[in-house]
C-alpha cells in the first residue's frame, strides 16, 4: 500500500491547470496529508490565507480529525507545485470545501494508521486509542507506536473514499475552540510574513508609470528625464505599459515620478451625476430569478403601493498595503510570488501572457494585506513578470497607493429598484425587486483581463465571459406569495469591476432590508415584528430574536416622533446569506445631528448562525471586521471620477472609518454542532448598511437610499 | 556622499548606503532588512510605516534618513528585548488584535509611545492617538482592547 517518497505517485496535485473556478479537487490522500518523520504533519490546501485566519481553522480541522496536537500541524497553501488545485479562494468556501476535503483525508489517514498499528502491536483495532499522534493498547499502555514510526517516511498511496467515517462533532476537542491564530505572533514581532517582505538574492526593484486614465495612449516618453537618477537598470516600455527597474527601491520611486511622458486621454466615463442613469441605460442580460403569482394584478389591486430605488456606488477594496509581486523569469522556469486568491488560474493566465506552457509557471502564494475580494494582486503579478522577463533577473514590483486606487478593479456600482403592495391590514401582497449590475466576477482567465495585458495589447478591456454575483441575496427568504425578482446584468461596466466580499449580497440586502423597513413603517408595524410575520424557519427567527434581545429592542413602529437636534434611533437588517448559508441579523443604534447631517453609529449588535463553529474567537474577529468595514462603506465610501479620470486616488479622496468613528460591536454566536459549518467570511458584511439606514429613518424619518450616507445626503433627505 | 550617514536602529549603528534624501523606510527595510515598518501609502496618511524616533512615533515613508542625526530609531523588531516580546506586542497576541496584520506595526508603535507618555489614557485619548493609523480589516475594537491589556501589563497588573 505505502510507497517510498521517491517512487511516490503524485496524484493530481500540481497537475491541475484546469482553470475552473473551484479547481479540481483531488481524492488522493497524499495530496492532502503527509506524516513527517519528526512527528509533525503537513497538510496541503489549494486555498490561500487572505488575512482572515483560515490557515489556523484548517489546521484545527486536521489536528482534530487526526488526533495530533494543533501546533504539530503545518499548513502549506496555494502553491502550484505542492498543493491541490482548489481554484479561487472566494465565496466563504474555504472551510466547507478545503476544510471538508482535509477532514476526510485526515479521517482516512487516521484509519490507516490504526490498521497499521493494530498489525504492528498485534492488538485488535477496538482495543487501541490515540493521543497526540501516539497509538497505544487500551489495557497495555506500554504497547504503543507513533504515527511517524508507522509511516517511516512513506506515503499512504491511496484514495480517500467518499464515504470515509469522520468524528462525531460532539467529541471535538480542538475544533470549536478559540485556538489563537498561528500567524499573529509572527506579525506582531515583525517577521517576514507578507509578499512585500520577500527578498531574493540579486533582486531588483520596480515601480510603474501608469497612464493617467484608463484608455489613455502613450504619445511620447523621454528617458533623458532620468539622466540624474542613479541605479536605473531598464525602462521597460511596451505599447502603453511602462515600468522602471532599478537597483534600489527609492531609485524606482524617484524615476517613476521624474519620467517625462505624454499621454493622449479621452473621456470614456460617465459623470458622477449620470452614473446611475448610465447604468440603467446600458444593454443588459436579464435573468428572471423568481416569478411567483401574478405580480402585476396584485400590485394594481394593492391597498397601498410603495416604490423605491436604491443606489450603490463603486467601492475600492482599498487594501492597506498596495499590491506587490515578485517574479523570476528564466528561460526554463518562471517563478512568481503573489498574493493572488487563485494561484492555479493565475499561473495559467501568466503562461498565456508570456506564451509559454503552463507547467513552466510556478506560482507561490504569499500573504498580502487583506484584499476582501479581487484587488490588484493578480495585476501586479503580471506586471512583475513582464519586468523580470525584460531584465532577466528577479524583480520586486510594488504598486504605489495611487496605482492601487486607480487600477484595482472595483466593487461594482448598482441600482436596486423595489415595488411593494400592502393590503388594508398592512400585509405584503406584492413584491417586485430588480437590480442592475455589472458582473461581480472578473477573474483573469485571459491576459487582456489583467491591466498589463490591456496596456500591452491595446485591445479594449475584454469582457468577462459570464455574469455572476448580482443575484446573490436578490431574493429574500420572506414568504411572500406574490413576488418577482429580476437581475439585469450590464455587459459594460464604466469602471473595471470585480468581486468584493459577498458580491451583490451586501447591496441587495441593503435594498431589500431597507424596503422591508419602508413597508413596515407604511403598515405602522414594528420592523422586527413585520419581518417575523414572513419567516417561519426557526433558525431565521432565532437569529433575529437573539439580536433583538441583546440590543434591548423595544417593539414600536418607526420613526420615533420625538425630535431634538441629536436624534437617536435603532434599525435592523437581516440576511440569510445566499438564501441557504449563514444567517445574520444586525441592529444599529445611531445618533443623527440634524443641523449637520452627521451620523454617529454608537453600537451594532450582530447575531450570527453559521452552523458548526470551528473557532469562536476567529469567527468573532471576522464578524467584527465585516461589521466595521461594511459600516465604513455605508457611511463614507464612494469612488469618485469625472469623464476622464478616477479622482479617488489616496486616503484623503477615499476616506475610511477611523478609530474615533468606530462603534461598539456586540456579537451573539449561535452554535449548531449538529449542522455543517458554512462560510463565515462574508455573511456579516451584508446587513450593516440596511441596519444603519433603517436606524437613521427611525431617528429622523429621513430615508437614505444612496450609499454612502454622507452628512450632505442626510441633510438633503431631512429637508 | 553615501556612507557618511550613520544611524542607530534598535540599538545598533548602521552606516547608510543610500543617498541622504532617501526616506528612512527604505533604508530600514532594504538596507537593514527589517520587516516591521511597511509601505502603505507613501504619503504619511496611513501609519503602516511608523517607527519610534526616540520616544516619538514618526512616519518613515517621507522622513529623509539624513534628518535622523543621533536620534535612536526603534522599529517593531526593536521592541523585543532579549527575546521577550514587549508588553504591547504580547497584548496584541492575547487579544488576537489583527486580521491581516499589515497595519499592526503602526498600531503597536503608536500604542507603545502613547503608554510611555500617558500610562492611563482615556478612551478618547487612545482613539485620538490611533486616528492616524488606518485599518482596513476592521480590527479597531480588538486593537482598543489590546491597548487596555497593554496598559495593565505595563503597569504590572496584567497576567500572561
Q: Which residue has the cell 467601492?
A: A315
In contact, A209 and A244? CB cutoff 8 Å:
yes
CB A33 within 8 A of CB A164: no
pLDDT at A5: 43
Number of A/B CB contacts below 8 angstroms equals 169
pLDDT reported for residue A564: 81
The Cα A400–Cα A398 span in angstroms is 6
Q: Is A627 on the interface with B (CB under 8 A)?
A: yes
Q: What pLDDT is stored for residue B158 in this prediction?
A: 58
CB contacts under 8 A, B 101-140 vs A, are: 101-105, 108, 124, 126-128, 130-131, 133-140
In percent, how much of chain B has pLDDT > 90? 94
Distances (CA, A) of A415 to A48, A69, B152: 33, 50, 50
* pTM for the whole structure: 0.94
Mean pLDDT for B108-115 is: 98
Å between A49 CA and nearest CA of chain B: 9
- Domains of chain B from N-terminus onward: 6-79 (3.10.20.30), 87-154 (1.10.150.120)
Query: Chain A closest CA to B125's CA: distance in Å?
Result: 10
A251 to each of A206, A210, A245, A468, how far by Cα in Å? 9, 17, 9, 42
Q: Indicate yes or no: CB of A650 within 8 angstroms of CB of B104.
A: no
Mean pLDDT by 10 residues, chain A (719 residues): 42 46 83 96 93 88 96 96 90 82 96 97 96 96 96 94 92 90 95 97 98 95 97 98 98 98 96 97 96 98 98 98 98 96 94 94 96 95 98 98 97 98 98 97 84 84 71 98 97 92 97 98 98 98 98 96 86 97 98 97 98 92 97 98 98 98 98 92 96 97 98 96
Determine whether the interchain pair A189/B126 forms a contact, defined as Cβ–Cβ distance below 8 Å. Answer: no
How far, in Å, CA of A401 to CA of A149, rounded?
A: 52
Q: Are strands A134-137 and A144-146 parallel, antiparallel or unpaired?
A: antiparallel
Rg from Cα positions in chain B? 16
Task: For residues B96-104, give the mean pLDDT.
Answer: 96
**How many residues are recorded in chain B?**
160
Determine, for residues B141 and A664 on separate chains, whether the beta-carbon distance falls below 8 Å.
yes
Which of A439, A513, A473, A432 is closest to A279 using CA atoms?
A439
d(CA B149, CA B135): 19
Among residues B159, B30, B44, the alpha carbon closest in space to that of B94 is found at B159
Residue B8: pLDDT band with limits 50, 70, 90: very high
C-beta of residue A685 within 8 angstroms of C-beta of residue A629: yes
- Tell me, what's the pLDDT at A457? 86
A181 grid coordinates: 491564530
Q: How far is A162 from chain B (nearest CA, A)?
A: 34
Say yes or no for a CB contact (<8 Å) between B41 and A369: no
In this structure, which long-range contacts are made by residues A528-536, counting pairs with CB atoms below 8 Å and at least 24 apart in sequence? A528/A553, A528/A555, A528/A572, A529/A555, A531/A478, A531/A572, A531/A574, A533/A427, A534/A428, A534/A478, A534/A479, A534/A480, A535/A477, A535/A478, A535/A479, A536/A479
Is the ipTM higher than 0.95? The answer is yes
- A602 interface with B at CB cutoff 8 Å: no
**Structural domains of chain A sorted by starting position, each given as residue range(s) with its CATH number in brackets:** 29-188 (3.30.365.10), 196-265+317-407 (3.30.365.10), 275-314+411-718 (3.30.365.10)
CA A718 to the chain's CA centroid: 35
Q: Which of A430, A618, A275 is nearest to B99 (CA)?
A: A618
Q: Give contacts of B144 with chain A, Cβ < 8 Å.
A: 659, 662
Look-up: residue for cell 524617484? A254
Q: Rounded CA gap, A316 and A409, in Å?
A: 8
DSSP collapsed to 3 states, A194-236: CHHHCCCCCCEEEEECCCCCCCCEEEEEEHHHHCCCCCEEEEE
Q: In angstroms, how far is CA B75 from the centroid of its own chain? A: 5
Closest C-alpha to A462, from A450, A479, A475, A474: A450
Q: Which of B102, B112, B126 to mutate to test the interface with A (most CBs of A within 10 A)?
A: B102
Exposed / middle / buried, residue B119 (Cβ in 10 Å: 0-12, 13-18, 19+): exposed
Amino acid at each position: 500500500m505505502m510507497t517510498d517518497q521517491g517512487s511516490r505517485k503524485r496524484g493530481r496535485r500540481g497537475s491541475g491547470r484546469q482553470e475552473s473556478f473551484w479547481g479540481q479537487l483531488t481524492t488522493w490522500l497524499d495530496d492532502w496529508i503527509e506524516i513527517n518523520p519528526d512527528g509533525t504533519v503537513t497538510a496541503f490546501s489549494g486555498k490561500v490565507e487572505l488575512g482572515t485566519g483560515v490557515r489556523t481553522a484548517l489546521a484545527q480541522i486536521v489536528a482534530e480529525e487526526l488526533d495530533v496536537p494543533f501546533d504539530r500541524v503545518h499548513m502549506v497553501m496555494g502553491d502550484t507545485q505542492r498543493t491541490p488545485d482548489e481554484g479561487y479562494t472566494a465565496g466563504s468556501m474555504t472551510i466547507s470545501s478545503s476544510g471538508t476535503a482535509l477532514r476526510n483525508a485526515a479521517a482516512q489517514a487516521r484509519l490507516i494508521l490504526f490498521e497499521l498499528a493494530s498489525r504492528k502491536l498485534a492488538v485488535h483495532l477496538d482495543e487501541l486509542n490515540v493521543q497526540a499522534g501516539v497509538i497505544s493498547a487500551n489495557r497495555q499502555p506500554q504497547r504503543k507506536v507513533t504515527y511517524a514510526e508507522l509511516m517511516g517516511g512513506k506515503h499512504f498511496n491511496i484514495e480517500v473514499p467518499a464515504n470515509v467515517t469522520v468524528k462525531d462533532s460532539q467529541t471535538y476537542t480542538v475544533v470549536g475552540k478559540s485556538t489563537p491564530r498561528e500567524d499573529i505572533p509572527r506579525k506582531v514581532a515583525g517577521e517576514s510574513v507578507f509578499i512585500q517582505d520577500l527578498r531574493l538574492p540579486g533582486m531588483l526593484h520596480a515601480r510603474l508609470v501608469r497612464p493617467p486614465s484608463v484608455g489613455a495612449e502613450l504619445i511620447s516618453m523621454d528617458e533623458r528625464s532620468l539622466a540624474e537618477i542613479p541605479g536605473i537598470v531598464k525602462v521597460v516600455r511596451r505599447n502603453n505599459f511602462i515600468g522602471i527597474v532599478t537597483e534600489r527601491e527609492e531609485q524606482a520611486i524617484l524615476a517613476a515620478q521624474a519620467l517625462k511622458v505624454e499621454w493622449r486621454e479621452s473621456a470614456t466615463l460617465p459623470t458622477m451625476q449620470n452614473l446611475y442613469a448610465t447604468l440603467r441605460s446600458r444593454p443588459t442580460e436579464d435573468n428572471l430569478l423568481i416569478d411567483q403569482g401574478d405580480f402585476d394584478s396584485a400590485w394594481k389591486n394593492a391597498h397601498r403601493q410603495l416604490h423605491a430605488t436604491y443606489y450603490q456606488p463603486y467601492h475600492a477594496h482599498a487594501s492597506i498595503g498596495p499590491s506587490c509581486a515578485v517574479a523570476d523569469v528564466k528561460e526554463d522556469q518562471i517563478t512568481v510570488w503573489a498574493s493572488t486568491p487563485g494561484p492555479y488560474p493565475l499561473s495559467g493566465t501568466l503562461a498565456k501572457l508570456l506564451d509559454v506552457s503552463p507547467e513552466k509557471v510556478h506560482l507561490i502564494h504569499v500573504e498580502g494585506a487583506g484584499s476582501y475580494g479581487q484587488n490588484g494582486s493578480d495585476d501586479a503579478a503580471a506586471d512583475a513578470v513582464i519586468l523580470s522577463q525584460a531584465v532577466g533577473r528577479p524583480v520586486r514590483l510594488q504598486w504605489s497607493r495611487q496605482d492601487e486606487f486607480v487600477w484595482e478593479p472595483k466593487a461594482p456600482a448598482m441600482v436596486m429598484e423595489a415595488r411593494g403592495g400592502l393590503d388594508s391590514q398592512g400585509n405584503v401582497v406584492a413584491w417586485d425587486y430588480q437590480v442592475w449590475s455589472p458582473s461581480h466576477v472578473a477573474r483573469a482567465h485571459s491576459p487582456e483581463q489583467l491591466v498589463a495585458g490591456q496596456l500591452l495589447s491595446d485591445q479594449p478591456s475584454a469582457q468577462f465571459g459570464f455574469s455572476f454575483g448580482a443575484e446573490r441575496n436578490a431574493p429574500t427568504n420572506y414568504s411572500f406569495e406574490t413576488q418577482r425578482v429580476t437581475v439585469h446584468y450590464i455587459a459594460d461596466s464604466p469602471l473595471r469591476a470585480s468581486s468584493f466580499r459577498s458580491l451583490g449580497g451586501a447591496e441587495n440586502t441593503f435594498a431589500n432590508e431597507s424596503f422591508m423597513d419602508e413597508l413596515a413603517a407604511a403598515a405602522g408595524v414594528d420592523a422586527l415584528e413585520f419581518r417575523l410575520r414572513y419567516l417561519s424557519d426557526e433558525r431565521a427567527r432565532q437569529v433575529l430574536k437573539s439580536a433583538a434581545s441583546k440590543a434591548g429592542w423595544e417593539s414600536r413602529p418607526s420613526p420615533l416622533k420625538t425630535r431634538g437636534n441629536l436624534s437617536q434611533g435603532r434599525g435592523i437588517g437581516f440576511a440569510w446569506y445566499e438564501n441557504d448559508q449563514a444567517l445574520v441579523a444586525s441592529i444599529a443604534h445611531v445618533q443623527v445631528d440634524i443641523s449637520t447631517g452627521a451620523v454617529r453609529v454608537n453600537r451594532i449588535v450582530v447575531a450570527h448562525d453559521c452552523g458548526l463553529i470551528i473557532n469562536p474567537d476567529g469567527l468573532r474577529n471576522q464578524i467584527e471586521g465585516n461589521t466595521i468595514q461594511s459600516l465604513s462603506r455605508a457611511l463614507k465610501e464612494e469612488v469618485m471620477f469625472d469623464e476622464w479620470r478616477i479622482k479617488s486616488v489616496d486616503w484623503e479622496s477615499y476616506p475610511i472609518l477611523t478609530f474615533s468613528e468606530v462603534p461598539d460591536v456586540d456579537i451573539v454566536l449561535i452554535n449548531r454542532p449538529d449542522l455543517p459549518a458554512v462560510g463565515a467570511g462574508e455573511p456579516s458584511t451584508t446587513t450593516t448598511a440596511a441596519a444603519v439606514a433603517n436606524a437613521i429613518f427611525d431617528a429622523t424619518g429621513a430615508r437614505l437610499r444612496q450609499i454612502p450616507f454622507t452628512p450632505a445626503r442626510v441633510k438633503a433627505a431631512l429637508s | 556622499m553615501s556612507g557618511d550617514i550613520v544611524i542607530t536602529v534598535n540599538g545598533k549603528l548602521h552606516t547608510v548606503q543610500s543617498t541622504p534624501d532617501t526616506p528612512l523606510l527604505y533604508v530600514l527595510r532594504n538596507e537593514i532588512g527589517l520587516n516591521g515598518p511597511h509601505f502603505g501609502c507613501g504619503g504619511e496618511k496611513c501609519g503602516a510605516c511608523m517607527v519610534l524616533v526616540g520616544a516619538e512615533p514618526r512616519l518613515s515613508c517621507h522622513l529623509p534618513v539624513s534628518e535622523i542625526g543621533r536620534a535612536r530609531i526603534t522599529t517593531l523588531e526593536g521592541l523585543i528585548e532579549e527575546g521577550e516580546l514587549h508588553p504591547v506586542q504580547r497584548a496584541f497576541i492575547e487579544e488576537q488584535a489583527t486580521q491581516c496584520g499589515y497595519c499592526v506595526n503602526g498600531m503597536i508603535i503608536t500604542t507603545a509611545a502613547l503608554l510611555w507618555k500617558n500610562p492611563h489614557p482615556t478612551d478618547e485619548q487612545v482613539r485620538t492617538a490611533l486616528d492616524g493609523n488606518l485599518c482596513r480589516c476592521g480590527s479597531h475594537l480588538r486593537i482598543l482592547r489590546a491597548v487596555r491589556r497593554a496598559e495593565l501589563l505595563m503597569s504590572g497588573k496584567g497576567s500572561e
